[in-house]
Amino acid sequence: MKITPRYFPVLLLTALFLGKTAVGFAQDNPASRPGMADMLEQITPAVVNIAVTGHIAVPDNPLLSDPYFRRFFDIPEQPLERETQSVGSGVIIDKDKGYVLTNHHVVHEADEIIVNLHDKRNVKARLIGSDEGADIALLQIDADNLDALPLGDSATLRVGDLVMAIGNPFGIGQTVTSGMISALGRTGISREGYEDFIQTDASINPGNSGGALVDYNGELVGINSAIITPAGGNVGIGFAVPINMAMSVVDQLLEFGEVKRGVLGVEITDLTPDVVEALDLDIKEGAVVQRVTKDSSAEKAGIEPGDIIVAVNGESITGMSDLRNTIGLIRAGTKVKIDLVRDGKRRSVTAEISGRSEQISTAVEGGESSVLEGVEFSTIPESHPASGKVEGVMASAVDQNSRAFAAGLRVNDIITAINRRRVRNPEELQEILQELHGAIALSILRDNRPVFLILR
């Protein structure tokens, strides 16, 4: 049937009638409304607000510290410190023992920590332990009738999964926001931290720190930790510590009161596509060992510069940040199986992780230019201890502004191979360099110890 203009009023009235009927039906039948209200009613009591008071030192002003200056200008005595107050969020993970998970930066240097429960009770909390590296802290409260959030498995998360952030933004009270997982394995947010962040566009604002990131099954998959914000509020880029990482920290906090980070004793960099091409590899992910510390766990296990670590205890290693996080969360004294690629062949070694306080260091990467520009080479002089014992080419001068210097090349380094091709003299070096494009891998002898550098 052809619809003519004279039917429009009838159609409009019909649409309004049906719309009103639908709205009325939804109001009379709350169960028909789409949403997550029923699930949230079950889990939100396990997310708490945290109020922290403490003291910080007041920066010393030499003029205000001078009694004659204060007396002349009638300035009262200045306090050496001032009281601070802040708010955050937390998650109850064990209702029987009263364990509350939050961020390290929420309770750092707190004098008093008060947990505000969902039923309006205020309970003083005890700090069991805190780890700045992972930004995780564990509190304990003495209270009954608590609710705890069930733990999920952050290893199963995928980009696009729907999540909700629950916390106390700006101290206004408990708030729920929803979004999706925007990315996984984010690093570089804090230069000193152990990072494997979940990125989400669920609104996270100041005060949400330490709150829960839950999936649509109501399971805890992350602890909200940080945001990128040019103006102080949410712009859709928030980060959460994966619950698997957080719980590995909790285990050590409960046992030791601190995290005793493991150390392998290597300097590493990422395995990038240009390095894969330079070394003619059939793998795409891993951490390239550039240097092995003397007497370290890595040296004792037989790991060598140039090795590419691809797995630890059967879990794939995607890059240097992944290896750093994995080793850093393993207890000292633990033996681990390390899979690596050497000269294109896969092999396995066993290393006993040491307990020194040093962390795995990451090497400085080069830039995008002629990689050996600013470097002068010569044959190994007869006066050198390696003369007659080692075949290679010596770096006789390295410009400190060069890409090579930034990548770690130093004067007196002896280059023995480039991309696994032997180098015996400066002529061979030049021939090899003329055939190569992109990144190059240098096998180096420094102070009679092997070093492996990637220059881009």
Q: Is 135 a catalytic residue?
A: yes
Q: Which residues pair with 83 in a beta bridge?
A: 55
Q: Where are the beta strands (DSSP E) in 15-80?
A: 47-57
* DSSP code, position 144: S
The pair of structure tokens assigned to 126 is: 């005890």
Amino acid at 185: G
Q: In 3-state terms, the chain is what percent helix, strand and coil (to 5)?
A: 25, 35, 40
Q: Which two tokens stand for residue 351?
A: 């290393």
1: tokens are 């049937």
- Give the H/E segment covering residue 281: none
- Concatenate the DSSP letters of all residues of 383-451 into one string: TSTTTTT---EEEEEE-TTSHHHHHT--TT-EEEEETTEE--SHHHHHHHHHH--S-EEEEEEETTEEE
What is the residue type of 202? A
Rounded Cα distance, 451 and 456, in Å = 16
105 carries an active-site annotation? yes
Which three-class secondary structure state does DSSP give residue 39? helix
Interatomic CA distance for residues 113 and 130, integer angstroms: 13
Told to judge if 209 belongs to the known catalytic residues of this protein, a careful annotator would answer: yes
Report the DSSP beta bridge partners of residue 348.
339
CA distance 206 to 287: 35
Cβ atoms within 10 Å, residue 217: 10
From the list 89, 209, 296, 443, the catalytic residue is 209
Q: Residue 17 gets which letter from DSSP?
A: H
Rounded CA gap, 279 and 439, in Å? 9
The active-site residue out of 131, 135, 307, 339 is 135
CA 100 – CA 200 distance, rounded (Å)? 23
Angle at 327 between CA 300 and CA 189, to 5 degrees: 140
Q: What are the catalytic residues?
A: 105, 135, 209
